[in-house]
Amino acid sequence: MNGAIFVAGHRGMVGSALCRALEAKGLGPVLTRTRSELDLCNQAAVEAFFAEQQPQTVIHCAAKVGGIHANRSYPADFIHDNLAMALNVIHSAWRHGCQRLLYLGSSCIYPRMAPQPLQEEALLTGPLEETNEAYALAKIAGLKLCEHYRSQYGVIFHSAMPTNLYGPGDNYHPEHSHVIPGLIRRFHEAKAAALPSVSIWGTGRPRREFLHADDLAAGLICLLEAENPPDLVNIGSGEDLPILELAKLIAQTVGYEGEILTNPEMPDGTPRKLMDISNIRSLGWEPRMGLEEGLAAAYEDFLGAECRVRSAN
Ligand code: GDP
């Protein structure tokens, strides 16, 4: 990686993990901008930033993300913000001489009923899961932008498809978060209030795969170091489990001993989305953090975040 590296979205869970990993490898300091310094949805502002800074490498980690309920409730915001950011960043990066751009997608880009484990070739072979269709369409547009700029202009613009992620700096909002941070909060609060039971959303039967953000960051660096990476590469842990099993592990981590109930009134989403990670493995990357160890670290992170909120109030 030569020249300045711009990490878009460096304050998010993925962007901050990536900055830590880049700096640990001596590849920092990276170029960053907070949202108030640079609104990535504002085309003129993004264009002016790239004209001035001309980074040689860009990693596009910025995204509007949320769990199943947020995706279903705010589809217009999810499609608009993610499309606008992808279009602005990818186009201005190319216009101002960036040779290497890594774009982050998501496992929800694959068809709802695609064969498991999900191979990269499953892209656009069937209908999407409806609870996150807006987000998935924006992410598909972003990865296709990279593919077409690469084929037309010869720049190495390529994409990583991470599975469901968790880690330090996650969003612990009770409704808008993903399942791991959402349940950490719910079990923690239930334990504090000595509640006899806790409800999880859906039937508990869907299966999900989880990857720690630090493992993802190592995978992103592995892709950036590959001379001629494929257009699209999955990054996951290679293992999944039913949501009810995950809930039991989280309850154990938090120390909640009450009953766990399911709530079929809430959506299940896609039944399963386990990634085939043969391609990233063949480039020399392996997941390192086991789920139980990762959940313990995530609970510590949640307690730290709660403490900071309390001392700020
Ligand atoms: P998804 O992979 O896009 O469906 O992302 P989520 O992390 O939001 O949800 C994963 C699965 O966990 C879905 O089947 C949800 O119904 C289920 N789930 C159970 N309880 C919760 C919760 O409290 N929050 C969230 N976000 N999902 C939950």
Which residue has the CA at smallest separation from atom 22 of ligand 1? 179
Q: Is 164 in the pocket of ligand 1 (CB under 6 A)?
A: yes
- What tokens appear for 283 in the block? 């480039």
Mutate to test the pocket of ligand 1, among 13, 163, 177, 201 (most ligand atoms within 8 A of CB): 201
Which residue has the CA at smallest separation from atom 10 of ligand 1? 179
- Average pLDDT on 256-274 reads 97
Residue percentage of the chain with pLDDT more than 90? 96
Which residue has the CA at smallest separation from atom 16 of ligand 1? 268
Q: Is 204 in the pocket of ligand 1 (CB under 6 A)?
A: no
Catalytic residue among 74, 103, 110, 135: 135
35 CA → ligand 1 middle, Å: 27
How far is 199 from 186, CA to CA, in rounded Å? 9
CA within 13 Å, CB half, 48: 10
Predicted confidence band of residue 1 (pLDDT cuts 50, 70, 90): low
* DSSP reduced 3-state for 103: strand
Which residue has the CA at smallest separation from atom 25 of ligand 1? 179
68 CA → ligand 1 middle, Å: 6
Residue 313: predicted pLDDT: 72
- What tokens appear for 243 in the block? 């949501």
67 CA → ligand 1 middle, Å: 6
- Tell me: pLDDT of 140 over 70: yes
- Average pLDDT on 260-284 reads 97
CA within 13 Å, CB half, 253: 27
How far is 130 from 72, CA to CA, in rounded Å? 8
Task: Read off the pLDDT of residues 4-17 as tens digits, 9 standing for 90 and up.
Answer: 999 999 999 999 99
| Stated pTM of the model | 0.97
204 CA → ligand 1 middle, Å: 9
Residue 114: predicted pLDDT: 97
- Average pLDDT on 155-162 reads 98
Task: Read off the pLDDT of residues 104-113 as tens digits, 9 standing for 90 and up.
Answer: 999 999 999 9
How far is 27 from 42, CA to CA, in rounded Å? 28
Q: Is 74 a catalytic residue?
A: no
Tell me the domain boundaries of the chain: 5-312
- Tell me: pLDDT of 2 over 60: no
Task: Say which amino acid occupies 256.
Answer: Y
Q: Is 208 in the pocket of ligand 1 (CB under 6 A)?
A: yes
Residue percentage of the chain with pLDDT more than 70? 99
Residue 268: predicted pLDDT: 97
Residue 3: predicted pLDDT: 74
Q: Is 201 in the pocket of ligand 1 (CB under 6 A)?
A: yes
Task: Read off the pLDDT of residues 80-138 as tens digits, 9 standing for 90 and up.
Answer: 999 999 999 999 999 999 999 999 999 999 999 999 999 999 999 999 999 999 999 99
Residue 274: predicted pLDDT: 98
Q: Which of 242, 216, 212, 207 is nearest to 118 (CA)?
A: 207
Residue 219: predicted pLDDT: 98
Q: Is 200 in the pocket of ligand 1 (CB under 6 A)?
A: yes
80 CA → ligand 1 middle, Å: 22
Which residue has the CA at smallest separation from atom 24 of ligand 1? 179
Mutate to test the pocket of ligand 1, among 65, 68, 188 (most ligand atoms within 8 A of CB): 68
**For domain 5-312, is the CATH number 3.40.50.720?**
yes
Q: Is 106 in the pocket of ligand 1 (CB under 6 A)?
A: no
Task: Say which amino acid occupies 305.
Answer: A
Q: Is 145 in the pocket of ligand 1 (CB under 6 A)?
A: no
> What's the chain's average pLDDT?
96
